[in-house]
């Protein structure tokens, strides 16, 4: 039977043909975004007041004029996919590309592009099929280890460029999300706390934002020694080198932003167990604050949001982690000895989750 000799209409078969090729070529969008970021195209448009012709872009990025026809093709891909907008041959920034041109490093998501579309991650996912077939290694970081011969955290210690990209991406993400979280739910989540420790808080982007908004809260950051050693300590928060699996400093609240998704369920229970030891009872204000996607939560999700959440989950396979649905979070919370939780889907891709002892 030929591929068209089925109980499908011609229109259905042609749509299937389109859908298949859409998936096949999908990675070109990521590579085009990386290329534009490397070339400084978003910044070039930004410096021209948010609108630039193709000739302006060539002049500002020093792309050889001979590449002009190919640059038009690159910009067409990025315009069709929503990174840029184009009107009468003038390219403009969109909300997505504006996130790549922050005047401050803490507001610029370019490091995230370089991290997610890095050679290390591309090499990792090139090993996905053999990893699924390999039944010998069931460790949480097996995929990354299969590709690189070491866990991701070990590579971070050895590769300063990758480590810096991760930390810079975390600072930008923290600054962006915390600004919105503090504006939309700051009084609900943080007011009344006397102390907070940001576990796995990197260079302190989230903790600094909280300390600035609520000066009465004593904010600390706990992270691994090689991370803390490079943290910009300006006295706003206290940086503590340590291991969240061994001990977490006592505080009214523990913040876990993008932490649990790096670990399997058993390790999440261990981390939350240490958090529970660090905080007081619920009646005394104790809680754990998570900032993380909750896949499929809410009845008004659009398809782009849901797809982005499940793609983010796919990305976490690389390091043995996972994005989770509500029922998966609930089981982890109960297994760690917590009694209740509340989900606030106020951060687009992310939600704020309060977990109570």
Confidence of residue 3 (pLDDT cuts 50, 70, 90): low
- Long-range Cβ pairs for the range 63-68 (8 Å, 24+): 63/39
| Residue 196: closest CA among 253, 152, 114 | 253
Beta bridge partners of 85: 92
CA distances (Å), 201 to each of 96, 109, 166, 259, 308, in order?
A: 25, 17, 12, 9, 24
For the segment 99-111, the average pLDDT, to the nearest whole number, is 80
Structure confidence at residue 105 (pLDDT) = 55
Kindly indicate the confidence band of residue 290, based on its pLDDT and cuts at 50, 70 and 90: very high
Determine how many CB atoms are found less than 10 A away from the CB of residue 169: 21
Q: How far apart are CA 244 and CA 274, in angstroms?
A: 7
Nearest C-alpha neighbor of 190 from the set 291, 269, 332: 291
Half-sphere exposure of 95 (CA within 13 A, CB side): 1
Taking only the tens place, the pLDDT of each residue in 19-47 is: 999 999 999 999 999 999 999 999 999 99
| 202 exposure class (CB count in 10 Å sphere: 0-12, 13-18, 19+) | buried
Considering the entire predicted model, what is its pTM? 0.86
CB 94 within 8 A of CB 85: yes
Is the pLDDT higher at 153 or at 132? 132
Taking the C-alpha atoms of residue 28 and residue 81, their distance in angstroms, rounded to an integer, is 11
Rounded average pLDDT over 70-93: 96
Angle formed at CA 43 by CA 42 and CA 47, multiple of 5 degrees: 120
Q: Where exactly are the structural domains of the chain?
A: 10-98, 142-356
Cβ–Cβ under 8 Å, residues 51 and 90? yes
pLDDT band of 168, cuts 50, 70, 90: confident
Task: Give the chain's mean pLDDT.
Answer: 90
328, 289, 334, 283: which is closest to 309 by C-alpha?
328
- For 35, other C-beta atoms within 10 Å of its C-beta total 16
d(CA 201, CA 251): 15
Backbone angles phi, psi at 159, to 5 degrees: -110, 100
Q: Would you please indicate which residues are annotated as catalytic (active-site) residues? A: 261
Q: Thinking of the domain 10-98, which architecture would CATH place it in?
A: Orthogonal Bundle (1.10)
pLDDT tens by residue, 201-228? 888 888 998 999 999 999 999 998 888 8
Rounded Cα gap, residues 119 and 221, in angstroms: 30
Tens of pLDDT, residue by residue over 227-252, are: 888 788 778 889 999 999 999 999 99
Mean pLDDT of 98-126: 86
Q: Are strands 287-292 and 350-356 parallel, antiparallel or unpaired?
A: antiparallel
Q: What is the model's pLDDT at position 137?
A: 55
CATH number belonging to domain 142-356:
3.40.50.150
Residue 1 confidence (pLDDT) above 70 = no
Structure confidence at residue 150 (pLDDT): 87
Residue with tokens 């670990």: 263
Task: Provide the pLDDT confidence category of residue 140 given band limits of 50, 70 and 90.
Answer: very low
| Residue 190 banded pLDDT, cuts 50, 70, 90 | very high
Of the chain, the end-to-end C-alpha distance in Å amounts to 61
């Amino acid at each position: 039977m030929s591929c068209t000799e089925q109980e499908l209409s011609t229109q259905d078969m042609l749509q299937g043909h389109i859908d298949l090729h859409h998936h096949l070529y999908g990675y070109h969008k990521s590579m085009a975004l990386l290329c534009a970021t490397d070339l400084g195209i978003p910044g070039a448009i930004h410096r021209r007041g948010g609108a630039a012709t193709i000739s302006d872009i060539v002049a500002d990025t020093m792309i050889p004029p001979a590449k002009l026809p190919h640059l038009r093709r690159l910009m067409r891909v990025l315009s069709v996919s929503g990174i840029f907008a184009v009107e009468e041959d003038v390219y403009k920034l969109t909300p997505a590309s504006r996130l790549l041109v922050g005047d401050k490093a803490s507001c610029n998501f370019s490091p995230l592009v370089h991290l997610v579309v890095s050679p290390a991650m591309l090499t990792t996912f090139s090993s996905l099929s053999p990893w699924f077939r390999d039944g010998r290694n069931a460790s949480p970081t097996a995929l990354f280890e299969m590709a690189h011969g070491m866990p991701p955290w070990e590579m971070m210690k050895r590769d300063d460029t990758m480590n810096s990209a991760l930390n810079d991406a975390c600072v930008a993400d923290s600054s962006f999300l915390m600004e919105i979280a503090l504006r939309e739910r700051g009084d609900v989540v943080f007011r009344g706390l006397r102390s907070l420790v940001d576990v796995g808080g990197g260079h302190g982007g989230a903790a600094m934002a909280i300390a600035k908004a609520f000066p009465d809260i004593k904010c600390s950051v706990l992270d691994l020694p090689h991370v803390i050693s490079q943290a910009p300590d300006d006295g706003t928060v206290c940086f503590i080198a340590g291991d969240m699996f061994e001990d977490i400093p006592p505080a009214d609240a523990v913040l876990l932003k993008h932490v649990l998704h790096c670990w399997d369920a058993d390790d999440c229970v261990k981390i939350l167990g240490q958090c529970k030891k660090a905080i007081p009872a619920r009646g005394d204000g104790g809680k754990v604050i998570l900032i993380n996607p909750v896949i499929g939560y809410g009845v008004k999700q659009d398809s782009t949001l849901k797809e982005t959440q499940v793609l983010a989950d796919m990305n976490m396979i690389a390091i043995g982690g996972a994005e989770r649905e509500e029922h998966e979070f609930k089981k982890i919370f109960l297994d760690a000895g917590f009694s209740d939780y509340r989900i606030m889907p106020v951060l687009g891709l992310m939600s704020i989750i309060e977990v109570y002892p």
